[in-house]
Structure formats: structure tokens, C-alpha cells
A = this chain, B = another copy of it.
Amino acid sequence: MRTIFYISDGTALTAEAFGKAMLSMFPLKVEHKTLAFIDSLDKAQQAVARINKAYTDSGERPIIFHTFVSVDVKRIITSSRGSCYDFLDYFVAPMSKELGIPAQPKTHRTHGIQENGIRESYDFRIEAVNYAMANDDGSNVSDYDEADIILLGVSRTGKTPTSLYLALHYGIKAANYPLTEDDKLENLQLPKVLKAHRHKIFGLTLDPQRLHEIRTKRREGSSYASLQQCRYELNEVEKMYRREAIPFLDSTRFSVEEIAAKILAETNIERHRF
């Protein structure tokens, strides 16, 4: 099997994003290895030894996706027996020409917080995480004035992971509110506490069979997990979304990244806050 190495003198998150996007175009089973913070000649030599060993062990040439600021460290990596890909290198010249300024590579600029002003934007995300935690699962309905968005849905439709992702990745203050039997699901009305915040509400729903599977893992054999109950809850909730003209998304086939991106696309909430 091919070994794919993601290597960088920083977090290697950019190398991973680049490499995974490339590999997604090829139907291929591979093994992934990330070598992060390779920021000395010594560490680079060790990385090269691992790359060359992977080649010897498997007989297949490893693929290397890398991003480096240090030219010396990069030179060592590209001297390995792997097949090396560096998108920054290729695009830096045309980019520089278009922008009319020379490149000034600096370590940890992409995923770091050391730059002027970035400190503040980092706090921004952490504050959003604190908000999401304090407003998870309808625990704190008094803070909805502060919310950028309030996710609504029955139990286990992905509200919590989506709220946390929106906070961590985008710095968006996402509360979430669970619709339960306490809200009298039959002929469900929009809960009173939400009425004043209607414009911020976004609904999540799911395929009943999928919800049944998820709930079964949690409480096998319970009426809560039964397909019948899942069908009933989702049906009542979707009727309410439609009646109240609340935008909603069936998250069955989507990852948390996709759910978040779709919500932002549909609500026009700004993705770039920092």
C-alpha cells in the first residue's frame, strides 16, 4: 500500500488539506502519516529516513505533500525517495506577480496566532466555543439575544456537533435547542422562548431510519429509539418547520463540515469573521 506523508514545519494542516483534496480524485487505498513541526535539519533527516523506509518496506514510492518555510529543511525532504508535491512553491511566483509584492514566508502564519490582531480573532473563536457550550441543548435560553444562530431539532439530529463546529471553525455563536416531548410534539408549536428569535432559527432533520439507528446505539430497544417514534417526531417537527417557514436541512447524507457550510450558505451568515 502507498504511504502518504503530510509534512510541514508547522501543524501540517495545510499539507493535509492539499493532499486529501488531491487524493480524493483517485480511488486508491492508502496509509496516511503526518509529520508536523519538522523544523530542524535533524528532524528533516529523520523524516527522510521514514520516507525511504516506507519505500523499501512496501516497494511503492511514497507520496509527499509538504509545505515549508525553511528552504534548507525543504531541500532535505525533497532529497528523499518520495514523490514530492508542493503547491505553495508552484503558485508563489504567479501570485506575487499578480499582487505586485514579493512573498514573505513566515512559519505558523496560516494556523498560528502570533500575528498582530490575530490574538483578538482567536479569542473570538474561543468565546464562541464558550457560548456554544453554555447554550447547548437548550440549557440557557436567556442568552439568545447574543446568538448568531439557534439550531433546532429533535434529539440526535446533529445539533451539538454542528454548533461546536460553527463556533470552533468560524467563531459563530451557535445555540441549540432540542424539541422534546415536553414541547408537546403533536401539532408542535414553535416554543415560546424561541418566538422572539425566529429570524435566527435553523432546523435540522434526519431520515427516520438513520435516526432510529443512532438512537438505538444510545438506548437500544427503548421507545425513544423505535422507528415509529423517530418517524413521528421527525414528521411533527418538519410540519412545524414548514408551517412556521423556518429554513431547515436534512443532514442524513452530510458531514458536519457540509452541514455547517450549507447553513452558512443558506442564511448568509458571514464565514470570515477573523
Contact = CB atoms under 8 A, between A and B. Distances in A.
Contact of A256 (B104, B126, B255): B126
A113 B21 contact: no
Contacts of A87: 18, 87, 90-91
Contacts of A256: 122, 125-126, 168
A253 B83 contact: no
Q: Which 4 A-B pairs have the closest CB atoms?
A: A17-B17, A32-B272, A11-B261, A24-B109
B253 A114 contact: yes
Interface residues of A, number: 73
A69 to B, nearest CB: 9
Interface of A: 2, 10-14, 17-18, 20-22, 24-28, 32-34, 36-37, 61, 63, 67, 83, 85, 87-88, 90-92, 94-96, 98-99, 101, 103-106, 108-114, 122, 125-126, 129-130, 133, 136, 158, 160-161, 164-165, 168, 253-258, 261-262, 264-265, 271-272
A227 to B, nearest CB: 18
B22 A91 contact: yes
A35 to B, nearest CB: 8
Given A25-B105, A91-B22, A168-B161, A113 B255 contact: yes
Contacts of A36: 261-262, 264-265
A269 to B, nearest CB: 11
Chain B CB within 10 Å — which of A13, A96, A98, A261 has the most? A261
Nearest to A218: B130
Contacts of A37: 261-262, 265
A256 B123 CA distance: 10
